[in-house]
Structure 1
Amino acid sequence: MNAPTAHPAVALVDDFVAAPHAERDTRFRDLVDALWSDGRATDAALPAVPALVRALADSGEERQGHLAILLGLLAESEYPDLDGPLATAVSSHLDLYLGLVRTSGAGRPLVLALVYLLAHFPHRRADILAAVSGLGLDAEDLSRLDRGVSLLDPEAPDLGRVWPSPSVWTLNEDERAFDRSWIKALTPQQLVANWDNDTRTVHGCAGARAYWAVCNGDPVNLPAADVPEDRAGQAVPAANGLFAPHEAALRCPTCTGRLDTGDDTARRTARCTGCGARYPVAGGILDLTTVVGADEATDAGADFLEKLSRVPSMGLFYEAVARPAFLRVSGSNWGGAVTPDDEDRYIADHIRPVDGPVLDLGAGAGRWTAVVADTVGADRLIALDSALPMLNVLRGRLPEVPSVLAGAAGLPFADASLGAVVCWNALQAFYNDAAAAIAEVARCLRPGGTFTLMTFRRSDDPVYGYFQRAHRFPQHQGGLQLFDADDLRTWLADAGLTVVEDSGPGTFVFLNAVRA
């Protein structure tokens, strides 16, 4: 009678545990590949759970963090089913995980990995929160865990305020009323879908932070950026003649005719000299997403001015909280390898405009628009973004810079009219239109003008890449999409742009290109 043969995955567990430090990551990749792929468990995963749990109990801390991450990935592979066979098998050893987290105060990466694992078991919510209560977790880590072990209450759903962690959101009564209004309008199916997306985002952020930590050491949080002043209810800055110096470059998105901004403060519209279309102008923002008739021009401009005075200041939160967190997740920047000063220097060192206006494409709330303005002069600069709340904040901090509300796939500028373009931490926001946007940049640039770009690439590590994609944002409902660096280079070359600098640590992409 033959002796029973151990499951092949058990040998991979043993190989990982016994591997010297230099081979640790390679052996872990082998183990992951055998049990899990892009969010789905393989047939070998369920039989391997007992061996993974034994190794977690018996290994040293250098291996335990990786094993906790893998067990969390296996439990998560069945989400939103919380009672599937894998989730049940992994959760049946919860007392072991709780014991480890209580005694692992000295090993922060291991604690983060265990917190990520524990966040998948809401049926033991009280026990889990009690076990971590004395660990001194950061407020953001604790609030992500708290949200992970919560279940949807259809009678009082709390949705949409989880990124980068629930703890960073402080809402006034108007904001709470706004949340209640849009949540109330959701169907039961939409409630569940939003809850599940929020949960995946929480797991993605917690997992990215924990996995980076077990591979590299303690994460470093960069200081938060200064929060611009909230301009809600304040007068919109005057903008008399702000667009006049750039009229030669501006074009109508309807017919590509030349735009006459005239005395935009008085007229409150810009008129196309070709088709006659009119577009609202107020507070230094030209809205090229809205066409109004000639008889509506004055009212439309006044309505736009009123809209600006009431637009929410999401840009404030973006600047101080969301953007730094996005860099950590998308750029694998948990160690602070790229600082805001590094970004400032890259822009200042590489933007080399020829004659013509300089465009800040996807300008957001203006943090890096200010750097471009310092580099080339505010009088040469135009900011463009598709989000009015962002431009509203930008105009408050940079009243000398005119702003255009428009998309990136069809830039409202003449051929060979711009001296330089900067697109900083924005290309991924219009991922599906990225190739078209790059072609548009090339069309609008004058020969010799520079295109200075910072965005992110997908991680080569399948586990970290999964955590990147797990994030559900408004423009990435199916998961965060980042680029293949070769695709970016191909799109640049096809557009007639020559890359002269290409760098970036982690999963950052820093590129500087020149129009041939």
Structure 2
Amino acid sequence: MTLSMSQPAVADLVESFSGADPDRLGEEYLRLAGLLLDGGTATELASPAVPLLVELLRTAPADRKAHPAVLLGLLAGAEDPAGDGELATAVGREVDLYLDLWIGSANGQPLSLALAYLLSHFPEHRDRILAVAGDRGLDVYDLSKLDRALARLDLDDPVIGRVFPSPAVWALMDEAERDFDNSWIKAMPTEQIILNWDKDTSTVRGNLGAAAHWAALNGAPTPVEVGTVPPRDELPPPPDGGTELFAPHAAALRCPRCASGLDLTAAEVRCPACAAVYPVANGILNLTEDAERNAGDFLYKLAEVPSMGHFYEAYARPNFLRLAGSNWGTAISPADEDAYITEHVRPVDGPVLDLACGAGRWTQTLTEAVGADRVIALDMYPPMLTATRRRLPELPAVMAGARRLPFGDATLGAVMCWNALQAFPDDAPEAIKEIGRCLRPGGTFTFLTFHSSADPVYRHLTACHYFPGHQSGMELFELDDIKAWLAAAGLTIRHEHGPGTFVLITAERPA
């Protein structure tokens, strides 16, 4: 391959990294990565770089081996411009070296994480790799990620959508939940199963790579603090609750079809203007536009996978903050989140909305800050609403989307949206516009989300993560876009905070 004379020779780039002073090592590593990769695609420098990176991995001091291991993993998984797979083949020729180095590395340290990510790209060596992983006593969660990354799809018994934060966590599902899971997987056409399998593989490899890349630059990640999921037979039953729960907030609620006020005096919620009927069950009011047509489906969804919300809070959420927030060093802790909510949510008169409330952990912090009598929980997903109602049975919960909030103009005293905007990136501008419409003058909008990393390697690895049901990889925001959406909604930023790739903002609708 002939290299452009305007580009530095790849050997010089590798030498610049290997000889860099410690305080410039990260900078040279990122410079080298930027010249070998353009997003997820290898550049013309990638192929001649492979033997040089392998040699560097073989001979470099211990504190400089993680970097070339990550780069080799990125190249092994990169889209090959030639389309012939020669790049991955070249990286894969040295699996014996990678295994020998892995055997001698300490679990949880940068080199071990980097080699696990690199080895995750070679399913043809699955048995050898997993044998070494077992011998070294790899953490059960990390072992299950590697196992899944190296697995081949079995169309007779496909397991889909169960890789984050690790496949080992999903093994905690009971038989009924597993049967429910299999029911929707078996309904998929073969093409969709294959597509989702590939997305899951991308997700698990991206997670391994993000941890390894961060560690190469910053040192070993701190252990993640996860919670526990209570046994299914110890979960309290869904609490009762009808229209009486919503009566204190009736003046704020609106029909999602015609935006008229609602009648909450009967067992069901009705719109006098357009005659729409909205069901209430277990203290959850379905205010989706198709609620009347899908009333039976609503009741079914309330009963599905009863522990899903608890699972999300205990396992998925803390690991997601590490990935999306670059929070591998715990720059933001749950206590920090609690403190931010308590200090910055400042409601005026009117209900306080927890938009996309999830399983209610942060809804509870909100109720402690402003009083449970003021809070309405809203989410699109029945298992999350059920978990929130179990945690906070005194709260009314609304099933609705963020694009068109079922509240009147200037009716809400404050809105919180905690760790959720990134889950519906296409709808975020419209959701923020809706929040501006619904807030009373002086009311605050307090939220936590994430912006894209300035580091192109980390940005690529987070984009490898797929939310269930999403067609493209995770899209994090540009901070300037968020600020533009707030301004367009008539909101003024009052406070901003953001270590890593976190965005914590409180904005206000001016009085």
TM-score by length of structure 1 reads 0.92
- Tell me which residue corresponds to 2:16: 15
Counterpart CA distance in 2 for 1:150 and 1:128 is 12
CA RMSD of aligned residues (A): 2.3
Secondary structure, aligned partner of 2:441: strand
Question: Is the contact between residue 152 and residue 195 of structure 1 (CA under 8 Å) also seen in structure 2?
Answer: yes
Q: Deviations along 1:147-184, whole A, 9 cap, x unmatched? A: 11222223332322111111111222223323333333
**Code of the aligned partner of 2:505:** L
- Tell me which residue corresponds to 1:485: 479
Secondary structure, aligned partner of 1:451: strand
Counterpart CA distance in 2 for 1:279 and 1:347 is 32
* Counterpart check, 1:251 vs 2:254: yes
- Tell me which residue corresponds to 1:289: 288
Question: Is the contact between residue 232 and residue 309 of structure 1 (CA under 8 Å) also seen in structure 2?
Answer: no
- Tell me which residue corresponds to 1:86: 87
Note the C-alpha offset of 1:7. Answer: 8.1
Question: Is the contact between residue 444 and residue 506 of structure 2 (CA under 8 Å) also seen in structure 1?
Answer: yes
Question: Is the contact between residue 236 and residue 305 of structure 1 (CA under 8 Å) also seen in structure 2?
Answer: no
Question: Is the contact between residue 164 and residue 325 of structure 1 (CA under 8 Å) also seen in structure 2?
Answer: yes
Which stretch of the first structure deviates more once superposed, 99-108 or 422-431? 99-108
Equivalent residue for 1:207, pick from 173, 188, 209? 209
**Code of the aligned partner of 1:314:** M
Q: Deviations along 1:73-124, whole A, 9 cap, x unmatched? A: 0010148x99710010000111111111111227811001001000101111
Secondary structure, aligned partner of 1:413: coil
Question: Is the contact between residue 107 and residue 138 of structure 2 (CA under 8 Å) also seen in structure 1?
Answer: no
- Tell me which residue corresponds to 2:198: 196
- Tell me which residue corresponds to 2:426: 432
Equivalent residue for 1:354, pick from 345, 348, 352? 348
Which stretch of the first structure deviates more once superposed, 100-109 or 331-340? 100-109
60 and 302 in structure 1: CA distance in 2 versus 1, 3 angstrom threshold: closer
Note the C-alpha offset of 1:436. Answer: 0.6
- Tell me which residue corresponds to 1:114: 115
* Counterpart check, 1:391 vs 2:385: yes
Secondary structure, aligned partner of 1:127: helix
- Tell me which residue corresponds to 1:234: 237
Note the C-alpha offset of 1:191. Answer: 2.5
**Code of the aligned partner of 1:333:** N
Question: Is the contact between residue 237 and residue 395 of structure 1 (CA under 8 Å) also seen in structure 2?
Answer: no
Counterpart CA distance in 2 for 1:112 and 1:163 is 17
- Tell me which residue corresponds to 1:38: 39
**Code of the aligned partner of 2:197:** W
Identity %: 53
Note the C-alpha offset of 1:460. Answer: 0.7
Question: Is the contact between residue 442 and residue 495 of structure 1 (CA under 8 Å) also seen in structure 2?
Answer: yes
- Tell me which residue corresponds to 1:126: 127
Counterpart CA distance in 1 for 2:281 and 2:476 is 34
- Tell me which residue corresponds to 1:322: 316
Secondary structure, aligned partner of 1:412: coil
- Tell me which residue corresponds to 2:405: 411
Note the C-alpha offset of 1:232. Answer: 7.1
- Tell me which residue corresponds to 2:175: 173
Note the C-alpha offset of 1:34. Answer: 1.4
Counterpart CA distance in 2 for 1:110 and 1:425 is 31
Counterpart CA distance in 1 for 2:316 and 2:89 is 34
Aligned length: 502
Stretches of structure 1 that go unaligned for 5 or more consecutive residues are none
Question: Is the contact between residue 279 and residue 291 of structure 1 (CA under 8 Å) also seen in structure 2?
Answer: no
Question: Is the contact between residue 78 and residue 87 of structure 1 (CA under 8 Å) also seen in structure 2?
Answer: no
Question: Is the contact between residue 458 and residue 483 of structure 1 (CA under 8 Å) also seen in structure 2?
Answer: yes
* Counterpart check, 1:187 vs 2:189: yes
Note the C-alpha offset of 1:306. Answer: 6.3
**Code of the aligned partner of 1:98:** L
Counterpart CA distance in 2 for 1:412 and 1:47 is 58
**Code of the aligned partner of 2:468:** P
Q: Deviations along 1:21-58, whole A, 9 cap, x unmatched? A: 11112211221121111100011111111111111111
Secondary structure, aligned partner of 1:379: helix
Note the C-alpha offset of 1:388. Answer: 1.0
**Code of the aligned partner of 1:201:** T
Counterpart CA distance in 2 for 1:106 and 1:260 is 60
Question: Is the contact between residue 201 and residue 471 of structure 1 (CA under 8 Å) also seen in structure 2?
Answer: yes
386 and 106 in structure 1: CA distance in 2 versus 1, 3 angstrom threshold: closer
Secondary structure, aligned partner of 1:234: coil
Secondary structure, aligned partner of 1:446: strand
- Tell me which residue corresponds to 2:325: 331
* Counterpart check, 1:367 vs 2:370: no
* Counterpart check, 1:382 vs 2:376: yes
Stretches of structure 2 that go unaligned for 5 or more consecutive residues are none
Note the C-alpha offset of 1:201. Answer: 0.5
Counterpart CA distance in 1 for 2:305 and 2:204 is 28
Equivalent residue for 2:437, pick from 443, 467, 490? 443
Secondary structure, aligned partner of 1:404: strand
* Counterpart check, 1:476 vs 2:470: yes
102 and 309 in structure 1: CA distance in 2 versus 1, 3 angstrom threshold: closer
Secondary structure, aligned partner of 1:241: helix
The within-5 A match list for 1:262-301 is 262-263=265-266, 267=267, 269-289=268-288
Secondary structure, aligned partner of 2:279: strand
Counterpart CA distance in 2 for 1:144 and 1:226 is 20
Secondary structure, aligned partner of 1:360: strand
* Counterpart check, 1:343 vs 2:345: no
Q: Deviations along 1:313-371, whole A, 9 cap, x unmatched? A: 32121111111111110001111111111000000000111111111011111100011
Question: Is the contact between residue 457 and residue 508 of structure 1 (CA under 8 Å) also seen in structure 2?
Answer: yes
Note the C-alpha offset of 1:382. Answer: 0.6
Question: Is the contact between residue 115 and residue 145 of structure 1 (CA under 8 Å) also seen in structure 2?
Answer: yes
Counterpart CA distance in 2 for 1:270 and 1:405 is 13
Question: Is the contact between residue 250 and residue 259 of structure 1 (CA under 8 Å) also seen in structure 2?
Answer: yes
Q: Deviations along 1:116-156, whole A, 9 cap, x unmatched? A: 00010111112212223332321111111111122222333
TM-score by length of structure 2 reads 0.93
Question: Is the contact between residue 82 and residue 121 of structure 1 (CA under 8 Å) also seen in structure 2?
Answer: no
- Tell me which residue corresponds to 1:504: 498
* Counterpart check, 1:218 vs 2:220: yes
**Code of the aligned partner of 1:183:** I
Counterpart CA distance in 2 for 1:12 and 1:384 is 52
